[in-house]
Amino acid sequence: MDVVAAIEDDLFAYALMLGDSALVLGHRLSEWSGFGPTLEEDIALSNMALDLLGQARLCLDYAGKVEGRGRDEDALAFMRDDTDYRNLLICEQPRGDFAVTMVRQLFYAGFMQPCFTSLMASRDSTLAAIAAKAEKEMAYHLRHAGEWVIRLGDGTAESHVRTQRALDEMAIYVAEFFSVSAVERRLVDAGIAADPLSLRRPFEDSITPILKEATLVVPSFAQGQHGGKEGRHGEHLSRLLGEMQVLHRAHPGATW
């Protein structure tokens, strides 16, 4: 295999990682549509879901073009099985209560904002352009989730307990953010991917003050679950995909 083809295989896998995380988390957020705690937050959650869906479309469309086998964004989103998905494990966890949803969003945005900032300098101009758009969206998600976590953590006795529990439940999926897959290692060396190791510091710098202001105990992120980037997922993803893909699989190519 020549060098260019090898890079393209990696680039395809990397675009899937970015796109799948956005798609799966966007789907989780969309589960709140019509069930948000207030009308205002219902719309806010749907807005964030749509931001992520937009990012997913851009990444999967690009992945399909890089792969060059005629798969478009729909084929990649709806016709792959769970073991072909490359999303971070945190994205597929059930939406839980509002505290879980907000803590997860805080973690994800706290990681993806510096990730996209780094990707804006990527040697791959398409990834750099996607990152420039997505960075602003993640900055807002970080702000929005952060404001809620502060108010939930430093709110009532019950909201504090539930937010601390959510924090401890979601913390075990953070270590995966900073694990470096073989694909990422090669693309970092090629100046294309963001180096996960370089993102730990900005992640902690942005979320630690928020958790402290929220009077929450900052959990350890040293150890946790891995495998999403390599396609090892839990059963939650299978169920999510079952719901997300059923319509397209029953009616391939259906349009509005």
Residue 28 in contact with residue 98, Cβ under 8 Å? no
Neighbouring residues of 155: CB distance < 8 A, sequence distance ≥ 6: 163
Tokens in use for 95? 């939406």
Give least dist CB 30 to other proteins, A.
15
| Site membership for other proteins, residue 38 (CB under 8 A) | yes
| Site membership for other proteins, residue 154 (CB under 8 A) | no
Neighbouring residues of 176: CB distance < 8 A, sequence distance ≥ 6: 88, 89, 90, 224, 225, 226, 227, 228, 229
Residues 89-148 interacting with other proteins (rule: CB under 8 A): 143-144, 147
| Site membership for other proteins, residue 160 (CB under 8 A) | no
Give least dist CB 32 to other proteins, A.
13
Give the containing element (helix H, strand E) for 43: helix 39-67
Between CA 24 and CA 13 the distance in angstroms is 16
Choosing from 8, 9, 47, 218, the residue that interacts with other proteins (CB under 8 A) is 47
Choosing from 16, 23, 25, 44, the residue that interacts with other proteins (CB under 8 A) is 44
Give least dist CB 145 to other proteins, A.
10
Closest to other proteins by CB, 15 vs 99, is: 99
Tokens in use for 177? 């953010």
Q: What does the chain come to in residues?
A: 256
| Site membership for other proteins, residue 157 (CB under 8 A) | no
Which amino acid belongs to residue 193? A
Maximum pairwise Cα distance, the chain: 60
| Site membership for other proteins, residue 15 (CB under 8 A) | no
Between CA 138 and CA 140 the distance in angstroms is 5
Q: Which stretch binds other proteins (CB under 8 A): 32-40, 107-115, 130-138, 230-238?
A: 32-40
| Site membership for other proteins, residue 43 (CB under 8 A) | yes
| Site membership for other proteins, residue 40 (CB under 8 A) | yes
- State the residues that interact with other proteins by CB under 8 A: 38-41, 43-44, 47, 143-144, 147, 151
